[in-house]
Amino acid sequence: MIRERVMTALLALLTSGGTFLTSGRRVLPWNKVASQPALFLRHVGEQVSDRPTGMPPRTILECEAWIYTKVGGDEVPDTALNALLDAVETLLLPGLADDAQTLGGVVQHCWIEGKTEIYPGDLDNQAIAVVPIRVLVPILAG
């Protein structure tokens, strides 16, 4: 149950800026997404660390934000993609009074970690990025 709350809260945060015209939890092929920019959120794995006896588990959900943007004419697709990446990074920053992004108190912390795959759209004006997001969930019991 906590996993679904986390994914729902994360998608809501990432799309809260009104930047994306299409969003969802199931990645669609970019050539099937007419309304762009688009963001799709995937839950792709989990890591559970060892813990001392009596301590709660430390579980990290591994997610990916797939971002699409298609531009026309003489526009540089990477320029539009860079603005979208900046927007996602900004949304995942902790609030001024907080040390962590908690998705409204649902998790301990949520952040970008790892290599972001970028396809700048040089050949067909379709730019794509896959952003690795990690979510620290204190207990997966409820």
88-103: pLDDT as tens digits? 999 999 877 778 999 9
Residue 142 pLDDT: 46
Q: How far is CA 32 from the centre of its chain?
A: 20
Instruction: Give the list of residues 6+ apart from residue 89 with CB closer than 8 angstroms, or none.
Output: 112
What is the pTM assigned to this prediction?
0.91
Instruction: Give the list of residues 6+ apart from residue 61 with CB closer than 8 angstroms, or none.
Output: 3, 6, 43, 45, 46, 134, 135, 137
Grade residue 4 by pLDDT with cuts at 50, 70 and 90: very high
49-81: pLDDT as tens digits? 877 777 777 899 999 999 999 998 888 999 999
Domains and CATH numbers, the chain: 2-137 (3.30.2000.30)
Residue 1 pLDDT: 64
DSSP letter at 30? G
Residue 72 pLDDT: 87
